[in-house]
Amino acid sequence: MSERRRPHRGSGRRGDHRDAKGSGGVPVDPKGQSHPDDLTEPDDLTEPDESEPDDLTDLVDVTVGGGIGSEPGDPVDPDEPVDSDRSGAVARKPRRGARASRRARGVSGLRLLLLTVGAIVVVIALTAVAYFSPLMSVRTIEVTGNSIVQSPEIVAAAALSKGEPLMQVDTAAAAQRVSMIPRVATVRVKREYPSTITVSVVERQPVVFTERDGKRYLMDKLGFEFAQQDPPPGLAELVTPNPGSGDPSTRAALSVMTGVPAYVADQVARIEVTSPVNIVLQLKDNRTVVWGDDERNGEKAETLRHVLGQEGTEYNVSSPQNPTFK
């Protein structure tokens, strides 16, 4: 009885999924009964035979061994050989397309690099030709904007010479030299390819003139005395203790003369300024206008236009809302 129980415990320990030979290679007859003579000891039944694969190993082999493209979404090992069937052909197509795309990008990048290098070389070559070659040298010097200062004086001050390579002309230095001419207010020197230098000037315009020591000086809107000469007809005289660009009374008088309409400025024969808030205009018809400071010049000019129609010799428009005359 004990010998028949031992194989029963052994077969239960190993499970019912063994093949026809039974657990541990024990032969089983067709009726399902084991032979007592071939039964092993219980200790032998507890250790599986290393020559036979374990059940878990079999399951793993079945799961992983599908190969490339066996199921959708399975990982593809690039080192495994690709079958010549339809799934293998499909696996090759993306890889070929990626290589072609990379090759196209490489060719495009190389073409762009070559074009960029070529453009840089062309620019450097043209710059070298313009800077050193006599083909682009100064052949013409043009002066524009001048009416009083003569063109030869301006060209001489600029120190420009024909035959000099156009790119080697220092235009900033030439403009600085021309600006030293007193009557020149602003100047610009520029290149015009292929062989011309243009000097554009703006001359100072007199706003008033001053007189001291028997000499008359023309003064521009900034208070700069730029010429000693007789003033043009109709130019007003500025009378103030210390005329000049740094004098507050001078700046106030010039603010009035440049801020009023022409119908007022043209009537002024002399502007007397004892302080920035005490400006008096002497008109050409010997009438006097008390202006006050240099604020609200437009309003004062409009008020003066109306009150000049009234009989009188002195008009006060320092308060444009309340003018007086006598």
Q: What's the pLDDT tens digit per position in 274-300? A: 999 999 999 999 999 999 999 999 999
Could you tell me if 156 and 182 are in contact, meaning their C-beta atoms sit under 8 angstroms apart? no
pLDDT at 272 over 70: yes
0.75 surpassed by pTM: no
- Kind of pairing, strands 208-212 and 215-219? antiparallel
Do the beta carbons of residue 323 and residue 303 sit within 8 Å?
Answer: yes
Local structure of 59: helix, strand or coil = helix
Region of 127 please: left (phi>0), alpha (psi -120 to 50) or beta.
alpha
pLDDT tens profile 104-115: 777 787 788 888
Determine the pLDDT at residue 270.
97
CA pair distance 248, 243, nearest whole angstrom: 9
Separation CA 209–CA 228 (nearest Å):
9
The answer to whether the beta carbons of residues 226 and 218 sit under 8 Å apart is yes
Tell me: pLDDT of 13 over 90: no
- In Å, how far are 10, 80, 157, 292, 315 from 311, measured between CA atoms? 146, 117, 55, 21, 10
**Collapsing DSSP states into helix, strand and coil, what is residue 267?**
coil
**Percent of the chain topping pLDDT 90:** 52
Three-class SS state of 108: helix
Has residue 216 got a pLDDT over 60?
yes
In terms of phi and psi (left: phi > 0; alpha: psi -120 to 50; beta: otherwise), the region of 106 is alpha
**160 vs 57, more confident:** 160
pLDDT band (50, 70, 90) for residue 94: low
| Length of the chain counted residue by residue | 326
Mean pLDDT confidence for 137-166? 92
* Residue 38 · residue 27 · CB < 8 Å: yes
Quote the pLDDT of residue 46.
44
Give tens-digit pLDDT for 290-326.
999 999 999 999 999 999 989 999 999 999 999 999 9
The separation between the first and the last C-alpha atoms of the chain, rounded to the nearest angstrom, is: 158
pLDDT band at 194 (very low <50, low <70, confident <90, very high): confident
CB–CB of 155/199 below 8 Å? yes
Calculate mean pLDDT across residues 139-148.
94
- The residue-averaged pLDDT of 38-57 equals 45
What does the angle CA 148 – CA 151 – CA 154 come to, to the nearest 5 degrees?
A: 95
In degrees and rounded to multiples of 5, residue 130 shows phi and psi of -70, -35
Tell me how far apart the alpha carbons of residues 280 and 127 are, in angstroms, rounded to a whole number.
61
Read off the pLDDT of each residue in 29-46 and give the average, rounded to a whole number: 44
Contact 302/270 with Cβ under 8 angstroms? Answer: no
| Contact (Cβ atoms closer than 8 angstroms) between residue 148 and residue 179 | no
Statement: residue 22 has pLDDT above 90: no
pLDDT tier, 197 (very low <50, low <70, confident <90, very high otherwise) = very high
Share of the chain above pLDDT 70, in %: 67
Q: How confident is the model at residue 269 (pLDDT cuts 50, 70, 90)?
A: very high
- Say how far residue 204 (Cα) sits from the centre of its chain: 37
What is the pLDDT, as a whole number, of residue 252? 97
The residue ranking higher by pLDDT, 95 or 273, is 273
Interacting residues of 292 by C-beta distance below 8 A, sequence separation 6+: 277, 278, 279, 300, 317, 318, 319
Distance CA 139, CA 184 (A): 25
